[in-house]
Every structure is written in structure tokens, then in C-alpha cells.
Amino acid sequence: MDAIIQSFVSLLQDKIPEELVVFVISLFPVLELRGGLIAASLIDIEWWKAFAFCFLGNMLPMPFILLFIRKIFQLMKKCGPLGKIVDKLEEKAHKHSDKVEKYGFWGLFILVAIPLPGTGGWTGALVAALMDLRMKKALPAIALGVLVAGIIVGTLSYGIVGLFN
């Protein structure tokens, strides 16, 4: 993940403002807010500014995933090799869906909030969409989860003292 973040930073840093670099990094699945905050700490963006840009970058795709991912998956399944990718993504989502089904809002929140590989806003939105959760229930849980994940990763990336300087 560090190599991917370093590549993004070196590719974009001289072309667009640093805040936009971390915003763009935070848009991508796998990297998300966590990758954006790590990149922001490496290029010395103030934590509060980095947090705001990363949060917005991570949250921007969520409504679109919730609304359109099932239709996109249907189209992808008709395109040969893309169908295998969809199958793997659906399998991954179904592994997490039992926790979300059991605990509802809080299950989805925890799935997004714990900054581990295979969790995060994109996974939470995918799980919610495949479970047919309504946006008004899913989006607040995802947003709160991204917020908590950001606090955790921000604390680790910037250090507790760095957050208050």
C-alpha cells in the first residue's frame, strides 16, 4: 500500500495542489481515506485539512455505489472476464453481510470503522447495496465509520501529539 501511495504522490504532487492529491487518493477503493491520510502525513499537510479532504474524497463515491453497483455488476457479468471479478467482489461482500445483517446499522458501522484490509467505505457500500439496504440507513453508518477510521488512522499517521499541534 505504501508503494501505491508513494506512486500517487510522486505522480500528482507537482501537477495539482497537495490537498487535491490526498482527495484523489481517498477516492480509490483499497486506498480510501486511510491511504489519503498516510499520504497527507508524508507530504506534511496539516492533519485537520488532510482529514477534511480525505473524508470528502472517501465519501464522494458512496451514494453512487449504493445506487448503481448492482446494475454495473449486471453489465459486467455479461462481459466475460469481468464477470469473474464481480463474482469475487460479491463473494467478499457476502462474507461480511452476516455481521451487517445481525447487527444492522452498528454492524455496517464497525465494518467500515475498523481500518483493516478488506474493510472500509467501499466494502461497506458494496455490502449495503447487495443487501438492498436503503441509502438513508446505509450512508450514515458508512459516514460515521469513515469518520472513526479517519480518527484511528490519523492518530497513527500523525501521532497523538501531531494532531494537537
pLDDT digits (tens, 9 = 90+) for 14-29: 777 888 889 999 999 9
Q: Which three cell numbers stand for residue 129?
A: 447495496
How high is the pLDDT of residue 36?
92
Domain containing 51: what range? 2-59
- 69 and 119, same domain (yes or no): yes
**By the 8 A CB rule, do 91 and 127 touch?**
no
How high is the pLDDT of residue 69?
93
- 68 and 43, same domain (yes or no): no
**By the 8 A CB rule, do 52 and 22 touch?**
no
Q: What is the pLDDT along the chain (165 residues), one digit of tens a residue?
A: 667 767 767 766 677 788 888 999 999 998 999 999 988 988 889 999 999 999 999 999 999 999 999 999 999 999 888 888 889 888 888 888 888 888 999 999 999 999 988 899 999 999 999 999 999 999 999 999 999 999 999 988 887 645 555
**By the 8 A CB rule, do 101 and 107 touch?**
yes
How high is the pLDDT of residue 89?
86
Q: pTM for the whole thing?
A: 0.84
Residues, the chain, total? 165
How high is the pLDDT of residue 162?
56
Q: Which three cell numbers stand for residue 112?
A: 467500515
98 within domain boundaries: yes
* CA angle centred on 73, ends 99 and 21, rounded to 5°: 80
- 66 and 134, same domain (yes or no): yes
- 73 and 134, same domain (yes or no): yes
Half-sphere exposure of 13 (CA within 13 A, CB side): 13
How high is the pLDDT of residue 160?
63
How high is the pLDDT of residue 2?
65
CA-to-CA distance for 109 and 71, rounded, in angstroms?
24
156 within domain boundaries: no
- 71 and 125, same domain (yes or no): yes
**By the 8 A CB rule, do 35 and 26 touch?**
yes
- 66 and 142, same domain (yes or no): yes
CA-to-CA distance for 152 and 150, rounded, in angstroms?
5
Number of independent structural domains in the chain: 2
Q: Which three cell numbers stand for residue 9?
A: 504522490
How high is the pLDDT of residue 126?
94
